Structure 1
Amino acid sequence: MVSSPLAPSSQPPQRQPISRPAPVDPQLALAVADDGFLRSLLTDSLPAIAHPHEIGVVSVEVGVPLPGQGRMDAVITFEHINCVLAGSYPDAPPPPDLNSHRQYQAITPCHSDLATLAQNVSLTEAETLLARSGFAPDDIQHILNLPSQGWHKSWWYSLTPEGFLTVPFQRHIRSRSYADGTCTLQFKDHYAQQRPEGFRSQPQKLPVVVHSPQSGFCDNLAQINLSRQALTTPQTILIADDLSELEVEGYIRQNVSLYRQRSLEHMLNANCRSCSQTKCPLQGVDSSPVLACRSFRPVDMGM
C-alpha cells in the first residue's frame, strides 16, 4: 500500500490526555492525613516499620523544631503492640488448652515482679484502659470489683520482632479501690523464659523526612540522622520518589524506610473521570464532587 498524507489513517484516534491535579505538598499531606494514611506510612514503607496488627493509636506532628536549629518535617507517634489478649479479636488465638498441671507448669515457671498499670485513676479511665487492652465488659467489671486478695487471670501471647505470636503466658491482674472513687491496677506475669515487654504496648516516635531532590544523598542523610538523634530512635521514614537504585540501596542500608511520594498524591487528589476503580459508582463521572479519595487509582495513559 502506498502511503499518502491524504489517505485515511489506519491507526485509532489518540486519546487526549486528561489534566492531572497538581502534585501535593508532602508536608501538607501529612498535616491533613487521616488515620488510614498514617498507618500506611508504617506498614507500606520499604522495609515496613510494623505489621498492621502491631499498631494501635497513631498521631502525627508536622514541622517539629530540632534542638539547636532547623526542624523535622514530621514526627509520627504510634502505639506499638507487643502482646495480645487471647481471643480478644477474631484472629487472636484462644487461650491454650492445657490438659494437665504439668503442662501449665512447663510454660509458667517464671514470674515477674508486681507492676503498676494505672495508679489513682478514675473508674472511667480504668474501664477505658482495660477495654482498649481487649477485655470484655464482664471481665472489666470482674477486675474492678475483685476482693482485696483476688486476682483476675488471663492468657496472653507475645509478639516476636517479626510479628508472629509466641508461646502463651498468664497474666494476673488485681485492683485497689479508694474512698475518693479512684482505683489502682496492678499486674504480674507468669511465663516460660522471656519476660513479656510492657503490659500491652509501648509508644514509639520516629521522624518522617521528605526527600529533597535539590540536595545530594549525603545532605538528605544528614537531615535524617539529625532527626533520628533528636528522637533517639534508629528508624525513620523517608518520603521519596524516582530515586536511583543505588540511592534506594544506600538509604535502606542506613536503616531508612522508603515511602513513595506518589501515594500522597493518590491519597489526597482524586479525579473520578480518570479513575480505574470500576466498582465505584462515580467512576468516569465528569461532575463528581469528590476531590479526595483513598481508593483513587489513575487510568494508565500510556498508548
Structure 2
Amino acid sequence: MVSSPLAQPFQRAQPGNGLSAADPQLALAVADDGFLRSLLTESLPAIAHPHEIGSVTVEVGVPLPQSHSAHGQGRMDALLTFEHINCVLAGSYPDAPPLPDVHNHREYQAITPCHSDLATLAQNVSLTEAEALLARSGFDPDEVQHIINLPSQGWHKSWWYSLAPDGFLTVPFQRHIRSRCYADGTVTLQFKDHYAQQRPEGFHSQPQKLPVIVHSPQISFCDNLAQINLSRQALEIPQAILIADNLSELEVEGYIRQNVSLYRQRSLEHLLNANCRSCAQTKCPLQGVDSSPVLACRSFRPVEVGT
C-alpha cells in the first residue's frame, strides 16, 4: 500500500471541500515558473529531477481532438510542456555535482580518451540570442561574456554530465566551446566534446508534453481515470499529473499503478489568495505591508509555520 499525505484512509473526498472546480485551472493559468516546475518535481511519483528541466510552459483548457472526446466537447484542464535536458553543466544549479576532481593528466585521460567532431551550436545569431542560449545552458553571466569574447584561437573548457534514462548523472565529460563574432553583429558558437566512451547528446533538449487533470471528487475513480486516459491518448504519452487532495489510500495506489503522478491541490491555493502581510518574498517591496491592495500574485509564497 502506498503511504502518502494525499491519502485519507478509506475516505472519499466530499464535493464542495476546498477549491471549486474552476479555481485550480485559474491558479494554473497565473502560475509562475517555479510553481510549474514543482508540478514536475514534487508530484508523487516525480516526473523529473530539477536538473532535467529546461523551460516550462502551460496552456489551460486545451480542447481534445474530436476523435478523443465525447461529442467533440472534451478538454484537458491544462497541458504542461517542458524541455527535457540531456546534459547538465557541472555546478550550474545548487544540487548539481561540482567540477570533477582530476589531479593529474592520467586521470584526465581516463575520462576523456575520445573526442567528437566540431559541431555548431548556433550560426550567425544575434549577440542577444547567443548570450541567452549560453545562459539557458547553465553558464553564469561572467562565463557567458568570457565565451562571447574569446580570442580567435581560444576555447572555453567546462565539465558536464550526461543524463542516463533514469535521470541520474553519468561519467563526466569535458566540453570545449568557442565563439566567432562578425562585423555584422552576429555570433557563431561551436563546440566539441572529450568523453570516456559514449558520445554526449550535445546541447539538444527534447520537448515533452503532459496533461494536467484536476480531480473531480463528485465522480468515481473510474470516470476520473477515463478523463486522464483520453488526454493521454490524445497526446500519445503514458504519463499524466492529477491534482487532488483527500484521496483514499486505495485511490492513491490505484492512480499511481496506472502511471498517474499525484500533486496536492492545496498547493494551488496560495496563487489565488495572495496576502502581502504573510508573504515570504523578501525581495518584493510590498512584502509585509498590511495595506497592500494585491489580491492575487504569481510570486506569493506564504510564510512557513514556525519561521
Bin for the TM-score computed over the shorter chain: 0.7 to 0.9
- Indicate whether 1:43 and 2:41 are aligned: yes
Q: TM-score, normalised by structure 2?
A: 0.73
User: Residue 271 and residue 139 in structure 1: after superposition, are their counterparts in 2 closer, same or farther (change >3 A)?
Assistant: closer
- In the other structure, the counterpart of 2:12 is none
Structure 2: give runs of 5+ residues left out of the alignment.
1-16, 67-71, 281-286
Q: Residues 227, 117 of structure 1: CA spacing in aligned structure 2 closer, same or farther, 3 A cutoff? A: farther
SS of match in other structure, 2:44:
coil
8 A contact 2:51–2:93 mirrored in 1 = no
RMSD value over aligned CA atoms? 3.5
2:29 counterpart letter in structure 1: A
Are the equivalent residues in 2 in contact too, given 1:84–1:200 (CA < 8 A)? no
Structure-1 residue corresponding to 2:135 = 131
Higher relative contact order (CA 8 A, sep 6+): 2
Q: In structure 2, what residue type is equivalent to 1:155?
A: W
**Closer/same/farther in 2, CA of residues 248 and 83 from structure 1, 3 Å limit:** same
> What is the rounded CA distance, in whole Å, between the counterparts of 1:197 and 1:226 in structure 2?
33
Aligned pair count reads 272
Which residue matches 2:13? none
Match of 1:78 in 2: 82
The Cα offsets for residues 80-135 of structure 1, whole Å up to 9 and x where unpaired, read as: 34433234455544432323332222112233444332232101110121123232
Q: Which residue of 2 aligns with 1:58?
A: 56
2:10 corresponds in structure 1 to none
User: Once the two structures are aligned, what percentage of the paired residues are identical?
Assistant: 83
Q: Distance in 1 between matches of 2:47 and 2:121?
A: 26
Partner of 1:295: 302
Match of 2:232 among 228, 232, 235: 228
8 Å Cα contact 2:30/2:271 also seen in 1: no
The 1:272–1:188 alpha-carbon spacing in structure 2 relative to 1, beyond 3 Å, is: closer
Secondary structure at 1:25 match in 2: helix
Indicate how the Cα distance of structure 1 residues 143 and 52 shifts in structure 2: closer, same or farther if over 3 A, else same: closer
Secondary structure (helix, strand or coil) at the match of 2:121 reads strand
The question of 1:239 aligning with 2:239 is answered no
Change (3 A) 1:179 1:290: closer
Name 1:14's counterpart in structure 2. Answer: none
| Alpha-carbon distance, 1:257 to partner | 0.3
Q: CA deviation at 1:31?
A: 1.1
| Alpha carbons of structure 1 residues 90 and 60: separation in structure 2 relative to 1, 3 Å | closer
Partner of residue 119 from structure 1, selected from 123, 132, 137 = 123
Cα gap change, 1:118/1:38 in structure 2, threshold over 3 Å: closer, same or farther? same
Gaps of 5+ in 1: 1-19, 299-303
TM-score of the two chains, using structure 1 as the length reference: 0.74
Deviation at 1:176, TM superposition (A): 3.7
Q: Distance in 1 between matches of 2:234 and 2:113?
A: 41
Alignment of 1:74-223 (within 5 A): 74-89=78-93, 91-146=95-150, 150-160=154-164, 163-199=167-203, 201-223=205-227
2:27 aligned counterpart, secondary structure: helix
Q: Which amino acid aligns with 2:27?
A: A
In structure 2, the residue matched to 1:264 is 268
Conserved? CA contact 2:118–2:191, under 8 Å: yes
Q: Which has the larger radius of gyration?
A: 1
Look up the SS of the partner of 2:194 in the other structure: strand
Structure-2 residue corresponding to 1:33: 31
